[in-house]
Structure formats: structure tokens, C-alpha cells
């Protein structure tokens, strides 16, 4: 009788553990498929100036699990440390509808509106009262 009770208790514990594991898996972030990939900047307009035409470039890689990485070349917008022209970094991103937030909950958190049309990603936001609109071509 005690053996039967122990087996039922073990089965119940395993069943509850599997249930929580399955619920946890369902809550994992998955990026919109059209946003996933590597994106190369074609225009980096902020305050009416296109920094891409002045030689700056950004390359973002957005993964379906919410990881991102970027490389900035000839930085003119403050992606890199002061005095550093080229840099790379990585972090996490989340999406909610047409909003994308990079590094949520950190001092580097930034939220943009985004859209993808025919392989072109456009993100935009207002910083320090100036509109920033960045466009990227999918690699």
C-alpha cells in the first residue's frame, strides 16, 4: 500500500513538473519572422542629417529568440564610446506590435517603431526632440 502511494506521489510530482515546464516554454519570446535576419543600414537620418551619406554604417543581426548584435562603423551617432569610431555590442530585444525595444530595463533601453516592407526595415523614434529614421536592407 505504501509503495502504491509513493508511485502515485512520484507520478503527480513528475506530471506537475512537466506542466510547469510546458507553460514556461510557451512564454518564451519569439521575434516576428520578417524581423529576423541581418540588416545593413542604407539611411541613418536624425535631425535632417543622413549620417550614412557621411560614411557611417550599422549592421544589426536580430535572432528569433530576442538576441541581437550590431556593428557600427565610422560612428557619428554615439553607438560607440566617445572617441571610438568602430564598435560592436549585443543584447536583448522585445517586440510588441509595431514597437521594438532594445535592452529593456537597462540604462541603454531604446524603443522604436518598426516596419518591414519588401526586405526593407524602417525604425524610427524621437530623441532629444529630433526625429530619427533608420532604414536597413536585409542581407
Band (12; pLDDT cuts 50, 70, 90): very low
**Are residues 19 and 70 located together in one domain of the fold?**
no
How much is the pTM?
Answer: 0.78
**Are residues 18 and 69 located together in one domain of the fold?**
no
Q: Which domain holds residue 1?
A: 1-29
**Are residues 18 and 63 located together in one domain of the fold?**
no
**Are residues 24 and 40 located together in one domain of the fold?**
no
4 near 12, Cβ under 8 Å? no
Say which CATH number the domain at 102 has.
Answer: 2.40.128.280
Band (59; pLDDT cuts 50, 70, 90): very high
Q: What is the spatial distance between Cα 119 and Cα 52, in angstroms, rounded to a whole number?
A: 19
How far, rounded to the nearest angstrom, does the alpha carbon of residue 16 sit from its chain's CA centroid?
Answer: 33
**Are residues 126 and 90 located together in one domain of the fold?**
yes
Amino acid at each position: 500500500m505504501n509503495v502504491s502511494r509513493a508511485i502515485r506521489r512520484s507520478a503527480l510530482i513528475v506530471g506537475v513538473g512537466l506542466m510547469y515546464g510546458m507553460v514556461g516554454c510557451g512564454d518564451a519570446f519569439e521575434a516576428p519572422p520578417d524581423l529576423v535576419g541581418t540588416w545593413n543600414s542604407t539611411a541613418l537620418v536624425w535631425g535632417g542629417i543622413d549620417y550614412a551619406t557621411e560614411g557611417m554604417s550599422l549592421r544589426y543581426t536580430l535572432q528569433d529568440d530576442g538576441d541581437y548584435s550590431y556593428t557600427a562603423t565610422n560612428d557619428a551617432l554615439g553607438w560607440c564610446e566617445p572617441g571610438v569610431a568602430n564598435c560592436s555590442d549585443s543584447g536583448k530585444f522585445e517586440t510588441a506590435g509595431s514597437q521594438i525595444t532594445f535592452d529593456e530595463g537597462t540604462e541603454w533601453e531604446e524603443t522604436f517603431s518598426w516596419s518591414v516592407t519588401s526586405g526593407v526595415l524602417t525604425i524610427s523614434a524621437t530623441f532629444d526632440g529630433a526625429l530619427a529614421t533608420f532604414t536597413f536592407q536585409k542581407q
